[in-house]
Amino acid sequence: MTFTPHGKHLVAGNWVASDNKFQSEPAHGPAHDFGVGTPALVDQAVRAAEAAFESYSALTRAARAAFLDAIADEIEARAAEITEIGTQESGLPVARLEGERGRTTGQLRLFARHIEAGDYLDRRFDAALPDRKPLPRPELRMMQLPIGPVAVFGASNFPLAFSTAGGDTASALAAGCPVVVKGHSAHPGTAEIVAEAVLAAIRRCDLHPGVFSLIQGGRRDVGQALVQHPLIRAVGFTGSLGGGRALFDLCAARPDPIPFFGELGSVNPMFILPHALGARGAAVAAGWAGSLTMGAGQYCTNPGVAVVIAGDAADAFEAAAKAEVGKVGAQTMLTDGIAQAYRAGRDRIAASKGVREVLTTTCDLRNATPYLYSTTGQDWLANEALGEEVFGPLGLIVHAKDADEMAALARSLHGQLTCTLHLDAEDTALGQRLMPTLMRKAGRVLTNGFSTGVEVADSMVHGGPYPASTNFGATSVGTLSIRRWLRPVCLQNVPQALLPADLAGQ
């Protein structure tokens, strides 16, 4: 069955049309018209979210878990239609969309089980000490409470897992916070059908309809109106550094500043240590080529930089990487704008002082072909722009002159989502030297693997120091991400009859 979008916004349980339209730009298949969002629609959606907050936040954890499970059920009931329109709009292959749908429903169910367990509440209790000298201690109880309505911006590169009902939305709803989503114009049809699934779950669970709204498209004024609305309490964002920083600044400039949790990407450098490079450089090159070009390089964890120590083994690695990357043909990028930005990034790297071409190709329109470049550690250290992300299948190999320069390169890094060490047992001493720096620079440190892809699990951290993300203490993936939408409250000498249900009897 084919899904045909109606092009409306979902506001407090109603599908609402708007006068101005924009047309989707699918990689293949039919284009559709969608309503352009407005600040007035944002205001309606946010006010409905505030109206829903009291009843939704007061639900039992079991009831909220049932709602999350219901959303997952409704998404799965629309699986074929979601895959069809998702592949049309994004150009991503069917297998990728099916896997991403599984991740989306999986994290909804993961958060359902997480809140049922209750550990996220971080409940603490200090008994009263009336006889303590010189002063008695009152009875103290603490727990985490939801903060209020949350704004979520859909991501271009993950139409499902980081968008309408993705990780930000799932974790906020799990916390007890209503959500207003600004859909990404790259995949509005996908956003609409997922919003239909959420609405079906709202009705199935008999919830206040303001618990979820979707505002499609729109110009900058829609995003600005959303993050500056006085009833919004926090913002989740996955996207570009420029766009994220602009929204972050708006949140900070509010009369009542609110947290902006932006995941902005990074170059995710790999450090290939000497013995590993000599013993299995070709294998590492092959793995890197696959990771670098996966999904046309459109992953925020794409490992765009490989650091090696100059010498014959480094030259062999470079040759092997060229051969492997050269096997990859043109791939469709998510949008025309992303494809244009990729070519601009390629031109910036190619024109940088000290950068040498290793593999050049030709790409145009919405296609991306891979590129490889090489530079020295000295030139890298002299040019901060080489450490800026190029969103696409472009790799840069940095030849450090020795271990000291490799360590200096690590220290020069800005904040990263990931850093990777490829090492053998004989590289342990250098690995021990680099690890403290890499842990300081990144939210996730890997050894002998490739960073593309993020496991949704309790221990995962998808975030890092700026500019990888705007809040180094948070993650946008994994169960810890729920903490973004909670705040601790201490209750002192409060009688049992007045305690929240989750504290009563504690």
**Alpha carbons 180 and 211: distance in angstroms, whole number:** 8
H or E element that contains 181: strand 179-182
Asked if 107 and 456 count as a contact pair (C-beta separation under 8 A), the reply is yes
Residue 189 dihedral angles phi and psi, to the nearest 5°: -65, -40
The residue ranges of DSSP E strands in 324-454, in sequence order, are 331-332, 356-359, 367-368, 371-376, 394-400, 416-422, 442-447
Question: Angle between the 274-293 and 312-325 helix axes, to the nearest 10 degrees?
Answer: 20
Amino acid at 450: F
Please give the DSSP secondary-structure letter assigned to residue 129.
B
Annotated active-site residue 76? The verdict is no
Identify residue 320 by its one-letter amino acid code: A
Count Cβ atoms below 10 Å from residue 383 Cβ, excluding itself. Answer: 15
Catalytic entry in 177, 251, 300, 419:
300
User: What order do you get walking across the sheet with 260-263 strand by strand?
Assistant: 14-16, 9-11, 212-215, 179-182, 150-153, 234-238, 260-263
If 0-12 CB within 10 Å is exposed, 13-18 middle and 19+ buried, where does residue 333 land? Answer: buried
Single out the residue of 415, 414, 418 nearest to residue 455, CA to CA.
418
User: In terms of Cα–Cα distance, which of 180, 333, 354 is closest to 344?
Assistant: 333
The phi, psi pair for 331, rounded to 5°, reads -130, 150
The token pair that represents 407 in the structure block:
């360590």
Contact (CB, 8 A) for 2 and 84: yes
CA dist 169 and 175 (Å) reads 10
Q: Which of 89, 263, 324, 405 is catalytic?
A: 263
Q: Give, in degrees to the nearest 5, the angle at Cα 476 between 417 and 438.
A: 20
Q: Known catalytic residue: 490?
A: no
Specify the 3-state DSSP secondary structure of 271. Answer: strand
Active site residues: 263, 300
